[in-house]
Amino acid sequence: MTPHKTPSFYSANASKFSRLFLAGAVASLLIFAAACHKKETQASVPPPMPHGPAAPTATLKVNPAGIQQGQSASLVWQATGAETVTIDPLGTVAVSGSQTVSPSASTTYHLVATGAGGTTEATARLTVTPAAVTAAPPASVASNQSEEAIFTQSVQDIYFDYDKAEVRDDQQAALKLDIQFLQQHPAIRFIVEGYCDERGSTEYNLALGASRATAVKEALARAGITANRIQTTSYGKEKPFCAESTEECWQLNRRGHFTYQK
């Protein structure tokens, strides 16, 4: 009679099943360990720190860097990332801009730009030298020159601020010398011509030039120069002394110009 082999068959399958179960369990443990390690690695990397606002930037320039007393220079500044800007000795100013300055002595301009990211400073130095005082030429020298040539050499133009027709305080010295010369030469007749820079319409600048010429005439008349010696006219922006679109040229074009009348 043939022996019954069923127990051996189940025993072999059970052994095989055990090995498969063991292999699956090991694989699961490895996957679980790898996942935990990945989470630990990810958790160990610190998050990036947030960046604060950047510090402001600022520039301050003066052009030209040196002038004589009575002359003007252009102060130009620009700031980024700033909420307030101050310039000593001007006070609080716009974040970016320019301004004509005419100090009587050498001045260091100090800019402070303040914003959420901190404070930035800048400086610019303007050197002022005393103006050379020109007196009327001696009679012995004047006799060898024409009256028109003496007038042209001796009389100084009067300069104005942008969009203004009032004689500035820093132009009083030049005006005083003009008055002295004209008092010493009572026979000379002349024209005061008003000029403007290129900004604004032709009609507006003609009117502004006329106001500037009138302001010079009235200042001379108050000093005793008879009004019948003085004519006025306006060229507005039509005959510029300087053709560049810069603050320096605009300042040269804002003037009351003296012309000898034959």
pLDDT in tens, the chain (262 residues): 455 545 555 555 556 656 666 666 666 666 655 555 555 545 455 666 666 788 899 999 988 888 888 888 889 999 999 999 999 998 998 888 888 888 888 899 999 999 988 999 999 998 888 765 555 555 444 445 789 999 999 999 999 999 999 999 999 999 999 999 999 999 999 999 999 999 999 999 999 999 999 999 999 999 999 999 999 999 999 999 998 999 989 999 999 999 999 8
pTM, 2 dp: 0.48
Q: With left for phi above 0 and alpha for psi between -120 and 50, is residue 221 left, alpha or beta?
A: alpha
> Smallest Cα–Cα separation from 226: which of 181, 182, 174, 166?
182
Domains and CATH numbers, the chain: 57-129 (2.60.40.10), 139-261 (3.30.1330.60)
The per-residue pLDDT for 136 is: 52
The answer to whether residues 66 and 127 touch, using CB atoms and an 8 Å cutoff, is yes
117 contact partners, CB below 8 Å, separation of at least 6 = 52, 53, 54, 55, 56, 81
Which residues are 258's β-sheet partners?
A: 192
Contact call for residues 216 and 174 (beta carbons, < 8 A)? no
Q: What is the pLDDT of residue 14?
A: 55
**36 vs 44: CA distance, rounded Å:** 12
What's CA 82's distance to the chain center, in Å?
A: 15
Closest CA to 200 of 254, 241, 261: 254
Residue type, 255: R
CB 254 within 8 A of CB 162: yes
Compute the radius of gyration of the chain from its Cα atoms: 42
Please, which residues bridge with residue 115 across strands?
118
Which residue type does 249 have? C
